[in-house]
Amino acid sequence: MNKLRNVTSYLTGDRAMRYLLGTLIVLVVSDGLISRFVITEKLGWEANPFLQTLVGKDVFLVIKVLGVLLCAFILWDIYKQWPKLGKISSLCFVVVYSGIVLWNLFVFFITQI
C-alpha cells in the first residue's frame, strides 16, 4: 500500500510540473504574439534591447518558441534532480510571465480607448 501511495504521489507531481511547464510555454508564446501585434500596430514598443530589432519579423516568434522550449527542458531536468526546486522555479516563471502578459494586454486595451 505504501508503494502505491509513493507511485501515486510521484505521478501527481509529474502532472503538476507538466501543467506548470505547459502554462509557461503558452504564456511565453502569448507574450510574443501580443508583443508583435502591439509593436507592428505602433501601439507600444519593445523594452528588451536584444529583441527590439526582431519584433516585427517572423524570426521573433521562432526565437520565443525555441527559447521557451529550451527553458522548459532545463526546468524539467532540474525537477528530476530536485523536484521542489523545479516546481518552485517553474511557478515563479509562470507568475512573472502572467504579469508580463497582463501588462501587454493592459497596454493594448489602454491604447484602444
Residues 6 or more apart in contact with residue 51 via CB below 8 angstroms = 60, 63
Domain of 22, in residue numbers? 2-111
Q: How far apart are CA 109 and CA 86, in angstroms?
A: 34
The predicted structure's pLDDT at residue 28: 95
The predicted structure's pLDDT at residue 79: 95
23-71 residue pLDDT tens: 999 999 999 898 888 888 887 787 778 877 888 788 888 999 999 999 9
The predicted structure's pLDDT at residue 104: 86
The predicted structure's pLDDT at residue 99: 96
The predicted structure's pLDDT at residue 1: 56
74-104 residue pLDDT tens: 999 999 999 999 999 999 999 999 999 998 8
Whether the CB-CB separation of 39 and 46 falls below 8 Å is answered with yes
How many domains are there within the chain?
1
Q: How far apart are CA 44 and CA 5, in angstroms?
A: 51
Total-model pTM:
0.81
Statement: residue 11 has pLDDT above 60: no
- Kindly state the average pLDDT of the residues 13-20: 88
